[in-house]
């Protein structure tokens, strides 16, 4: 209550304050028949009793006629609630304030929606009136927790471990590879700035500059169009260190998260488990496995290889051919036929992958198109191999290894959603399973042209120490020193040890990626002036906080987020500008035909 008019907040009064005169400021949350109202501020709620005597009739009239969500000042005496009228659900439920004087500071007009957490509001309406949505308890809690966690992170990095908080530029130039960047016109004809998708180059240059340990709560920008649950501008906890290896960065991040983790979410145990990219793909079908539940992918190629089944033999004859399966526990009981059909259709449409189902009947026998090829002994071998119980459903896929794993990994998550919707709890909503995924490939074939390579993460990632020679002889086989941090099946961080040799960096850009290294001449030159070995990581703050508070969307942990299409519905941005405003930037807008018609109208 320092520096302000009030004596107390609406969330702090208790029985110990009985008899004191207090002045409260807040919003009217609720009114009841001219008898009392509930006053709300950022910290909580207090019940205000309206005076019923003639001498204070003007106070009663003022407060009982003020619209809900009006801002008021109330001065009165704290008293105990009458016996039996206490409210144990409210922290201030033992007391009430008897109003003596009051003032309406600002009246509220008719609201577009009620300010209550349980009221369903459309996403568009919430974003149009974001300043009203921010009054809800949940958003207040999310933003305050976010602030507290960031403050603890600063303490850990700067005060305990000597990191330097450095702000890097927002106006920069285009970076090769990676996500699309927003362009900002300059007054030099034809020249544009780019908004950085991360401070990657700057943090490496700070290491060349001898800063040793850098950190920043960094704003980043990616023009990714309308991707669900992504934001065009987002925040990273950005970190870089000199003279460090992968293990050093991992220990730092584990300590950072343990130190800043909110107490009410229970402790997190370190060190976090680690898994290679190969293991993650083989067991979970994804590079960001949700390890809160089982249903791992099982390889049954060796078992089926012995049998004369045409589609199996066809699949296994390909290079990287495999047959794999996942077992859905109690699938018969919890999934309907249409659910199984939708799972099979999903694998077909997304991955072009056929799926065969196997059902374990109550008598322990198997029902499947596969069973006609299996004797009784082989059926029981298969049941053992897949650890099947009565009423389990197995989904089986045959084909190229990566495609099969990706399809089954996706079906694993979809079937978990279906089981949970039907009432079987698989994933503990209060559990936080962190995981390091390591040993990623350094390069991947480009989707649009598989004969060309692109960086699996970004072109500054160093090869795995054991694979340095492969970089020059067979780059497709080289592993990288990249590491991802995964939480409950979501990527919440990623980093790498960087290339600190100008010669190696130039080779990667020019010979492997076929990029024009001129765009990065400043960085290449810097690496020639005694660049130290260095590495770093960036944590996605929005995603991390949304998982901690179990928010349905990252928009719920950002004060003023953009819509699904990257629009600000409250301020109506982006917006048109006049030709006169564009003139200094040497830009003319070429309108699409449909838009031209509208302009004339």
Cis peptide before 271 (omega within 30 of 0): yes
Q: How far apart are the first and last CA of the chain?
A: 56
Beta strands 321-328 and 356-360 are unpaired
Give the percent of the chain with pLDDT over 70.
Answer: 97
Q: Does residue 524 contact residue 204 with C-beta atoms inside 8 Å?
A: no
Query: Is residue 225 pLDDT above 90, yes or no?
Result: no
- Over residues 308-321, mean pLDDT: 90
Q: Which tokens sit at 398?
A: 């045959």
Percent of the chain that is helix, strand, coil (3-state, to 5): 35, 25, 40
Query: Is residue 499 pLDDT above 70, yes or no?
Result: yes
The 10 Å Cβ neighbour count of residue 298 is 19
The 10 Å Cβ neighbour count of residue 319 is 6
Better-predicted residue by pLDDT, 358 or 318: 358
Cα–Cα distance for residue pair 165/171, rounded to 1 Å:
19
Query: Is residue 495 pLDDT above 70, yes or no?
Result: yes
Q: Domain 293-422 is classified in which CATH homologous superfamily? A: GAD-like domain (3.30.1360.30)
Query: Is residue 262 pLDDT above 90, yes or no?
Result: yes
- Over residues 141-147, mean pLDDT: 98
**What is the pLDDT at residue 228?**
66
Alpha helices (H) in 232-387, listed in sequence order = 246-260, 277-284, 301-305, 310-317, 331-334, 337-351, 376-385
**What is the pLDDT at residue 104?**
98
Quickly list DSSP for 340-353.
Answer: HHHHHHHHHHHH--
pLDDT band at 116 (very low <50, low <70, confident <90, very high): confident
Q: Does residue 497 contact residue 462 with C-beta atoms inside 8 Å?
A: yes
Closest CA to 370 of 126, 475, 378: 378
pLDDT per residue as tens digits for the range 368-424: 989 888 888 999 999 999 999 999 999 999 999 999 999 999 999 999 999 999 999
Range picked from 101-110, 112-121, 302-311 for highest mean pLDDT: 101-110
Query: Is residue 601 pLDDT above 60, yes or no?
Result: no
pLDDT per residue as tens digits for the range 330-382: 999 999 999 999 999 999 999 999 999 999 999 989 999 898 888 889 999 99
pLDDT per residue as tens digits for the range 227-259: 667 899 999 999 999 999 999 999 999 999 999
Could you state, in order of their start, the residue ranges of all structural domains in the chain? 15-106, 141-275+434-557, 293-422
The pTM of the full predicted model, rounded to 2 decimals, is 0.93
| Domain 141-275+434-557, CATH number (from 3.30.930.10, 3.60.15.10, 3.10.20.30, 3.40.228.10) | 3.30.930.10
pLDDT band at 226 (very low <50, low <70, confident <90, very high): low
Query: Is residue 50 pLDDT above 70, yes or no?
Result: yes
Out of 200-204, 209-213, 272-276, 593-597, pick the least confident: 593-597
pLDDT band at 118 (very low <50, low <70, confident <90, very high): low
pLDDT per residue as tens digits for the range 549-592: 999 899 999 999 999 889 999 999 999 999 999 999 999 998 87
**What is the pLDDT at residue 177?**
67
Cα–Cα distance for residue pair 510/459, rounded to 1 Å:
11
pLDDT band at 594 (very low <50, low <70, confident <90, very high): low
Cα–Cα distance for residue pair 165/179, rounded to 1 Å:
26
Closest CA to 221 of 197, 237, 238: 197
Query: Is residue 56 pLDDT above 80, yes or no?
Result: yes
- Over residues 448-453, mean pLDDT: 91
Provide CB contacts within 8 A for 523, sequence distance 6+: 201, 204, 205, 505
Q: Does residue 457 contact residue 440 with C-beta atoms inside 8 Å?
A: yes
Beta strands (DSSP E) in 433-481 are 434-438, 443-445, 453-455
User: CA-based angle 193:197:201, to the nearest 5?
Assistant: 80
**What is the pLDDT at residue 179?**
75
Cα–Cα distance for residue pair 565/399, rounded to 1 Å:
37
**What is the C-alpha radius of gyration for the chain, rounded to an integer number of angstroms?**
30
Alpha helices (H) in 98-169, listed in sequence order = 123-128, 130-133, 137-154, 161
Cα–Cα distance for residue pair 92/78, rounded to 1 Å:
11
Query: Is residue 173 pLDDT above 50, yes or no?
Result: yes
How many helices and strands in the chain, by DSSP H and E? 20, 22
CATH class of the 15-106 domain in this structure: mainly beta
pLDDT band at 120 (very low <50, low <70, confident <90, very high): confident
Query: Is residue 599 pLDDT above 60, yes or no?
Result: no
Quickly list DSSP for 266-298.
Answer: ----SSPPEEEHHHHHHHHSSSS--TTS----E
**What letter does residue 160 receive in the DSSP assignment?**
I
pLDDT per residue as tens digits for the range 265-281: 999 999 999 999 999 99
E strand or H helix that includes residue 355 = none
**What is the pLDDT at residue 564?**
83
**What is the pLDDT at residue 595?**
59
Query: Is residue 93 pLDDT above 90, yes or no?
Result: yes
**What is the pLDDT at residue 224?**
81
**What is the pLDDT at residue 597?**
47
């Amino acid at each position: 209550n320092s520096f302000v008019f009030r004596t107390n907040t609406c969330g702090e009064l208790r029985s110990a304050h009985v008899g004191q005169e207090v002045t409260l400021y807040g919003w009217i949350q609720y009114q009841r028949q001219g008898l009392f109202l509930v006053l709300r501020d950022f910290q909580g709620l207090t019940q205000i009793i309206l005076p019923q005597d003639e001498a204070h009739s003007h106070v009663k009239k003022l407060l009982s006629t003020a619209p809900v969500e009006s801002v008021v000042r109330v001065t009165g005496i704290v008293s105990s609630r009458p016996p039996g009228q206490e409210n144990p659900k409210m922290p201030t439920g033992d007391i009430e304030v008897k109003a003596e004087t009051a003032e309406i500071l600002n009246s509220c007009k008719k609201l577009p929606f009620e300010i209550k957490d349980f009221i369903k509001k459309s996403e568009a309406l919430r974003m149009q009136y974001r300043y009203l949505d921010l009054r809800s308890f949940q958003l207040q809690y999310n933003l305050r927790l976010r602030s507290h966690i960031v403050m603890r992170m600063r303490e850990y990095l700067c005060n305990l471990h000597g990191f330097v908080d450095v702000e890097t530029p927002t106006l920069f130039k285009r970076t090769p590879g990676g996500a699309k960047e927003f362009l900002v016109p300059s007054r030099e004809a034809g020249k544009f700035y780019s908004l950085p998708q991360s401070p990657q180059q700057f943090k490496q240059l700070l290491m060349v500059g001898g800063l040793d340990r850098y950190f920043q709560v960094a704003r980043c920008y990616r023009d990714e169009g309308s991707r669900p649950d992504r934001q065009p501008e987002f925040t990273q906890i950005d970190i870089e260190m000199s003279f460090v290896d992968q293990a050093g960065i991992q220990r730092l991040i584990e300590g950072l998260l343990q130190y800043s983790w909110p107490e009410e979410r229970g402790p997190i145990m370190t060190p976090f488990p680690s898994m290679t990219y190969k293991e993650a793909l083989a067991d979970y079908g994804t590079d960001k496995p949700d390890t809160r539940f089982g249903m791992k992918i099982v390889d049954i190629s060796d078992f089926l290889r012995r049998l004369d089944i045409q589609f199996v033999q066809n699949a296994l004859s390909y290079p990287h051919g495999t047959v794999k399966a996942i077992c859905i526990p109690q699938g018969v009981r919890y999934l309907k036929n249409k659910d199984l059909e939708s799972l099979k259709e999903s694998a077909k449409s997304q991955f072009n992958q056929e799926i065969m189902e196997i059902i374990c009947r109550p008598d322990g026998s198997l029902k499947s198109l596969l069973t006609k090829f299996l004797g009784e002994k082989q059926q029981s071998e298969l049941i053992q191999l897949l650890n099947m119980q009565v009423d389990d459903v197995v989904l089986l896929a045959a084909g190229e290894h990566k495609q099969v794993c990706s399809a089954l990994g996706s079906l694993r998550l979809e079937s978990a959603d279906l089981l949970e919707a039907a009432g079987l709890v698989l994933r503990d909503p209060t559990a936080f399973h962190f995981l390091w995924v390591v040993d990623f490939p350094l390069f991947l074939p480009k989707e649009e042209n598989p004969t060309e390579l692109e960086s699996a993460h970004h072109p500054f990632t160093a090869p795995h120490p054991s694979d340095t020679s492969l970089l020059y002889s067979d780059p497709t086989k080289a592993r990288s020193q990249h590491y991802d941090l995964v939480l409950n099946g979501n990527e919440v961080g990623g980093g790498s040890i960087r290339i600190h040799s100008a010669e190696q960096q130039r080779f990667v850009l020019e010979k492997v990626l076929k990029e024009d290294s001129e765009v990065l001449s400043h960085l290449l030159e810097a690496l020639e002036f005694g660049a130290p070995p260095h590495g770093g990581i960036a944590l996605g703050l929005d995603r991390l906080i949304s998982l901690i508070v179990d928010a349905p969307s990252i928009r719920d942990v950002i004060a003023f987020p953009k819509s699904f299409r990257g629009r600000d519905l409250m301020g109506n941005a982006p917006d048109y500008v006049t030709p006169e405003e564009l003139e200094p930037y040497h830009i003319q807008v070429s309108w699409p035909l449909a838009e031209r018609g509208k302009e004339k109208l």
